[in-house]
Structure formats: structure tokens, C-alpha cells
């Protein structure tokens, strides 16, 4: 299952269309869950990614590297950087296609070191879709939208039903997720498949 996807997107992928009710370019996306390590405000040492729709097919996110995110002294841990890309790519798919998806595959190329204190500007775009599979890729630049490229990533996200979360997730956490939504604390989430 884990063979590298050589052609990106693969030949069977079709052009992807954003959902008719996808948030418009310029919309700032809220956290999708307050306890999410990637974007949730309740996770003190989390990544606190903040994302904005840039066009029909793209979302830009920022992530500022803190001391808690170190691997080597003064430098971001690679796994955390991959996590930031997982969040940025997943948020792009989830918000522009308005469907629940999970990461099936994530490839990350680390191009240059990312120091503590720097801000990664991650530009992610939808590349194609084939059935339940959505292909999405991103570049992360240091300290500015046109700064030097520090990482590149590609992700395959698979659309799942709500049963994925109800079967495998924690009921209390799901209840909290729903309450957050009902209280309007996260972005509008009128998903096609609604938990």
C-alpha cells in the first residue's frame, strides 16, 4: 500500500472543483477542533496554524515555530513540520471540498532548516481527485510568502464517512467537537456529511 506515487497527480485523477459553498477567497478559517494539535487553541504547545483561503483551489497557512517544537537545538523537529503540513493540506481539502477526509499518505521534502522563531508560510493547492482520493500539495517558505522554500509536501486524503470518527474516535471528544460547532466557535461547518 505504501508505494510512492510517482506521477503527481496520477493519470486517473480528474480536475478538482471546489464545493459550491466553499468559503470565498480571503476567508480566514477558524480552528476545526479546539483540541487539535495542528490548529486548536486549547493545546498550549500545539502548532496554532492559522489559514486563509487564497483562491478557489488554494489555502495559505502560517505556523510560527516555538521552543516546544525543537528537534536539534534551536531548530524545528522534522516530524512537527510534517504535522504542520498535514494540517495545512487537510484543512485545504476539508474546507474547499467540504467533506470529511483523513490523511492516507504524506510525503515531505525538507529543503532547509527551520529555526525556532521563524514563521512558515505554507501555500497548499488542490491538485486532483479520483473517487474518494484527493491529491493536494504545498510549499512552505521561511518568514514571508515569497521567502526561501524550506519544505515541500504532497498528501493523499481519502474521504470517509462519519462512521470513521464514531467507530474509532472517543465519544466524549466527539461530543465536545459537536458542542464547539453548535456554539459557533469554529468556522461554519455545514458539511455534506455532518457528524
Question: Is residue 105 within the footprint of ligand 3VV (CB under 6 A)?
Answer: yes
Question: Is residue 132 within the footprint of ligand 3VV (CB under 6 A)?
Answer: yes
State the SS3 of the chain.
CCCCCCCCCCCCCECCCCCCCCCCCCCEECCCCCCCCCCCCCCCCCCCCEEEEEECCEEEEEEECCHHHECCCCEECHHHHHHHHHHHHHHHHHHHHCCCEEEEEEEEEECCCCECCCEEEEEEEEEEEECCEEEEEEEEEECCCCCCEEEEEEEEEEECCHHHHHHHCCHHHHHHHHHHHHCCCCCCCCCCCCC
Question: Is residue 22 within the footprint of ligand 3VV (CB under 6 A)?
Answer: no
Question: Is residue 87 within the footprint of ligand 3VV (CB under 6 A)?
Answer: yes
- Residue choice 8, 56, 158, 176 for contact with ligand 3VV (CB under 6 A): 158
What track of x and - describes contact with ligand 3VV for positions 32 through 61 (by CB under 6 A)? x-----x-----------------------
Q: Shortest approach of ligand 3VV to residue 154 CB, angstroms?
A: 11
Which span sits near ligand 3VV by CB under 6 A: 13-21, 74-82, 111-119, 127-135?
127-135
User: Where along the sequence are the contacts to ligand 3VV (CB under 6 A)?
Assistant: 1-2, 32, 38, 86-87, 90-91, 94-95, 100, 102-105, 131-133, 156, 158, 160, 162, 165, 174, 177, 191, 195
Amino acid at each position: 500500500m505504501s508505494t510512492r506515487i510517482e506521477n503527481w497527480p496520477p493519470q486517473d485523477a480528474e480536475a478538482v472543483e471546489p464545493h459550491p459553498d466553499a468559503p470565498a477567497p480571503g476567508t480566514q478559517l477558524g480552528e476545526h477542533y479546539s483540541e487539535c494539535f495542528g490548529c486548536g487553541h486549547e493545546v498550549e504547545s500545539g502548532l496554532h496554524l492559522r489559514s486563509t483561503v487564497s483562491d478557489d483551489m488554494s489555502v495559505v497557512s502560517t505556523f510560527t515555530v516555538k521552543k516546544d517544537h525543537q528537534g536539534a537545538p534551536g531548530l524545528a523537529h522534522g516530524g512537527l513540520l510534517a504535522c504542520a503540513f498535514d494540517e495545512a493540506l487537510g484543512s485545504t481539502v476539508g474546507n474547499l471540498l467540504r467533506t470529511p477526509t483523513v490523511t492516507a499518505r504524506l510525503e515531505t521534502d525538507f529543503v532547509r532548516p527551520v529555526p525556532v522563531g521563524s514563521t512558515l508560510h505554507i501555500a497548499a493547492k488542490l491538485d486532483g481527485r479520483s473517487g474518494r482520493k484527493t491529491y493536494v500539495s504545498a510549499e512552505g517558505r521561511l518568514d514571508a510568502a515569497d521567502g526561501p522554500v524550506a519544505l515541500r509536501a504532497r498528501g493523499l486524503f481519502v474521504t470517509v464517512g462519519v462512521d470513521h470518527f464514531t467507530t474509532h474516535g472517543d465519544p466524549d471528544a466527539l461530543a465536545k467537537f459537536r458542542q464547539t460547532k453548535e456554539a459557533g466557535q469554529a468556522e461554519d461547518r455545514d458539511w455534506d456529511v455532518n457528524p
